[in-house]
Amino acid sequence: MSLTNKQRENSVSFDITTHTYTRDGVEIPGVTKVLRDLIPGWSAGEWYLERGVVVHACAAMIAQDVSFEHDPQVDGQVRAIRRFFYEVQPEVISIEQQVYSELYDYAGRTDLVCKVYGKKVVLDYKASVSKSTPYQLAGYAIPLDVNYGVSVEIHDDGTYKMSKIYNLKQFKNGWLALLSAYRIRRLCGIKETKGE
Topology adopted by domain 30-187: Lambda Exonuclease; Chain A (3.90.320)
Backbone angles phi, psi at 140, to 5 degrees: -75, -35
Backbone angles phi, psi at 4, to 5 degrees: -80, 165
Rg (CA), the chain: 17
Which pLDDT score is estimated for 129? 83
Strands 119-126 and 148-154, by their bridges, are parallel
Q: Domain-by-domain residue ranges, the chain?
A: 30-187
Which pLDDT score is estimated for 50? 79
Backbone angles phi, psi at 82, to 5 degrees: -60, -40
Which pLDDT score is estimated for 45? 67
Do the beta carbons of residue 153 and residue 160 sit within 8 Å?
Answer: yes
Which pLDDT score is estimated for 7? 45
Which pLDDT score is estimated for 20? 87
d(CA 79, CA 57): 14
Do the beta carbons of residue 160 and residue 154 sit within 8 Å?
Answer: yes
Which pLDDT score is estimated for 155? 95
d(CA 90, CA 150): 11
Q: Where are the alpha helices (DSSP H) in the chain?
A: 5-10, 31-38, 46-63, 75-88, 133-144, 169-187
- Number of other residues whose CB lies within 10 A of the CB of residue 43: 18
Residues of the chain with pLDDT under 70: 1-10, 41-45, 47-49, 192-196
Which pLDDT score is estimated for 17? 76
